[in-house]
A and B are shown apart, each in its own frame.
Chain A
Amino acid sequence: MTDDKTTTTPVSGKVVPQQRKDRTPAAGSAEPAIKVVKEWQEVWHRFAANKLALVGLVLVVGLLLTAVFAPLIAPHDPLKQDLMNTLKPPSGEHLFGTDILGRDQLSRVIYGSRIAVIVGVVSIVLTLLIGVVLGAIAGYYGRFYDTLTMRVADVFFAFPLLIGAIIIITVTGRGVWPVVLSLAIFGWATVARLLRSSVLSAREMDYVHAARALGAGHARVILRHILPNSIAPVVIYGTFNVGTAVVAEASLSYLGVGVSPEVPEWGNMLAAGRGFIGVYDYMWTLPSLAVVLTSLGFIFVGDGVRDALDPKLR
């Protein structure tokens, strides 16, 4: 959908001879182990053929490294207030100026990546977990389970995400985990729908009937035969939506219902900078850039993952 030019024949043409080269020497040795490696190699080749996906990967890895090494990169303590130096414009000491309490803007953006990574990754993992379990049950067992799960999913699907999240957070109080929880509560329905429909088609495949005929139990059939063959759309959804989760978290903090205001976090910084538009623009430009690059990074990677896992979906 993005750029048809990135996967034209010359690129995929390069992939094929390489595979053949691999195959000849490997033919004699242990077959199954090598086959797995090659499958992943193929996936990686398809991913790497999408240049935008590589850009996205660089952005995402950059974000992860920033989050892990924040104490080493940040020039100042993100929480340290300096009331003699509030709202200072960018200088050699503070590359992106200081905020209303004299805290270093750059350091706060760097530390903000930690909240982004935690919320983005954990909320998506939780969303996928709930969605996959319920979607698999609905799709595999059908009938009553299907109707019940899908009608409940309808309810959560119809809820506007932000409004739902705000209500959950009002109950639990502000903080990182309430945000993660509320995003998962209003996100799982889409995953359950996706997985259910791919389980429905996988369920009737010959290999599933064969596994059952050979005496495999329900759990084994679901875990070993159905899930591996129906999980691709969910994985693609997950990669795309890490960025969406980061944006949703920043939106909640921007509205004053996300993480607490003293925490260095992008949405908080943007909310603080909102009153200074046109006066101290450096207060909101850097955190804006951080949110945009993070969101774009995961979208581009998601694009690449889609091309790699399911070329038919393009």
Chain B
Amino acid sequence: MGRYLLRRLGQMIVVLLGATLILFACLFVIPGDPVGSLAGSERSRDPAVVEQLHKRYGLDKPLIVQYGTYVNKLVHGDMGEDYTQRRPVAEILGPKLVNTSKLAIAAIVFDAVIGAGVGALAALKRYSLWDTVVTLITTILVGFPTFVIGMLMLNLFAVQLKWVPVIGDPSDPVQVVLPAITLAIIDAALVARLMRGTMLEVLRADYVKTAIAKGVPRRQVLLKHVMRNSVIPVVTYIGISFGSLLGGAIITETIFNWDGIGMAMSTAIQQQNNPIVVGVATWGVAIFVLLNLVVDLLYAMLDPRIRLS
């Protein structure tokens, strides 16, 4: 177990190094001077100032040195300084990450409660009207892109019904609902289908029949035998999904003007604010890989047949 963890953590570091190296290489070859505009317009620029700026951000050094400096600072918890505000990247991204996390947590709760609940009910009442409706809706929903859902939501709840304002305010807990549902609804449909499928399989399993035959109360069979075993693939799916949600939901954040790291990323790209771009992408990769590891550990905990090695 200890050795497994160590190996996985080692792999994580390799993935992180690879991802940041690719990022650096890409940003390095982007045409244009990312800090040039800080020294004024193209004509009035003082070459000495530009040179000084390059020196300040280490842009006068070769790619591999810049990369080395970045990694060295990152290990010490420093993500560098951004180009436009000249503040530490961590300080800028911190509050935005809080907003993104609010969205991600709300979305995951929706996935787990509504998605898994709806799917479980459909499996228990197989071939009922409810089952048919759930199958139909989830089948169609998975074909909807996030931005279409977002626009439908905005149209219905913000414009027609006027329940919420069009521009989201992350500090108002009510306003997290709309973007969270937008972000979660496709995943919830997938979770519902996954839950239904697994549960139907578990309901047919011999150990469930045995439990019923030996007279275990139905409630207990459902909770202890059926639920515990059907929930494993769902946990895996939701965990990995949470990892990508925490990395920033560019589309949803853009539609709802949600001030999270996804929005920060798209603005930073336009402004060639490379330290922010690298910061968000590094965070996205790190949290994704980390949650994958957590999911694997959880998997082994929920299913004792699986041995980690």
Contacts and interface: CB of A to CB of B under 8 A. Distances in A.
Contact of A166 (B142, B155, B269): B269
Given A154-B15, A155-B19, A163 B284 contact: yes
A134 interface: no
Contacts, number: 117
B14 interface: yes
B105 to A, nearest CB: 18
Nearest to A173: B31
Interface in B228-286: 244, 247-248, 250-251, 254-255, 265-266, 269, 277, 280-281, 284-285
Interface in B151-165: 151-152, 154-155, 158-160
A173 to B, nearest CB: 9
Given A163-B248, A255-B266, A277-B154, A151 B14 contact: yes
A158 B280 contact: no
Contacts of A295: 143-145
Given A160-B248, A163-B281, A171 B144 contact: no
Residues of B in contact with A, size category: 35 or more
B26 interface: yes
B135 interface: yes
B139 A52 contact: yes
B117 interface: no
A281 B155 contact: yes
Interface residues of A, number: 41
Nearest to B166: A277
Nearest to B25: A171
Most buried by A among B23, B143, B193, B288: B143
B131 to A, nearest CB: 10
Nearest to A150: B11
A302 to B, nearest CB: 11
Given A151-B18, A167-B27, A171-B30, A251 B135 contact: no
B293 to A, nearest CB: 11
Contacts of A207: none
Interface in B116-147: 135, 139-140, 142-147
A291 B285 contact: no
A255 B263 CA distance: 11
Most buried by B among A154, A155, A292: A155
A10 interface: no
A247 B155 contact: no
A277 B19 CA distance: 38
A171 B23 CA distance: 11
A141 interface: no
A168 B139 CA distance: 33
A164 B143 CA distance: 23
B244 A160 contact: yes
B29 to A, nearest CB: 6
A288 B150 CA distance: 11
Contacts of A171: 26, 29-30
A16 to B, nearest CB: 25
Interface string A222-259: 00000000000000000000010001001100110100
Contacts of B142: 299
B15 to A, nearest CB: 5
Contact of A274 (B23, B30, B151, B193): B151
B15 A170 contact: no
Contacts of B18: 151-152, 154-155
B288 A270 contact: no
B9 interface: no
B22 interface: yes
B250 A162 contact: yes
A213 interface: no
A27 B268 CA distance: 69
A296 interface: yes
Contacts of B26: 167-168, 170-171
A277 B148 contact: no
A167 B277 contact: yes
B27 A296 contact: no
A2 interface: yes
A154 B27 contact: no
Given A1-B197, A3-B135, A251 B251 contact: yes
A278 interface: yes
Contacts of B266: 166, 255
A171 to B, nearest CB: 5
Contacts of A159: 19, 22, 281, 284-285
Nearest to A250: B145
A159 B283 CA distance: 10
A267 B254 CA distance: 14
A284 B151 contact: yes
B289 interface: yes
A291 to B, nearest CB: 6
A288 B147 CA distance: 9
Given A167-B269, A250-B147, 18 more contacts: A3-B135, A152-B18, A155-B15, A155-B19, A159-B19, A163-B247, A163-B250, A167-B23, A167-B26, A171-B30, A250-B145, A251-B146, A255-B254, A270-B151, A281-B155, A291-B148, A292-B144, A295-B143
15 contacts: A2-B139, A2-B193, A151-B14, A154-B11, A158-B19, A159-B22, A160-B247, A163-B281, A167-B26, A167-B277, A251-B251, A270-B147, A281-B155, A292-B144, A295-B143
Interface of A: 1-3, 52, 151-152, 154-155, 158-160, 162-164, 166-168, 170-171, 243, 247, 250-251, 254-255, 257, 267, 270, 273-274, 277-278, 281, 284, 288, 291-293, 295-296, 299
Q: What 9 A-B pairs have minimum CB-CB distances, sorted nearest first?
A: A278-B159, A296-B143, A155-B18, A295-B143, A247-B145, A288-B148, A158-B285, A160-B284, A154-B15
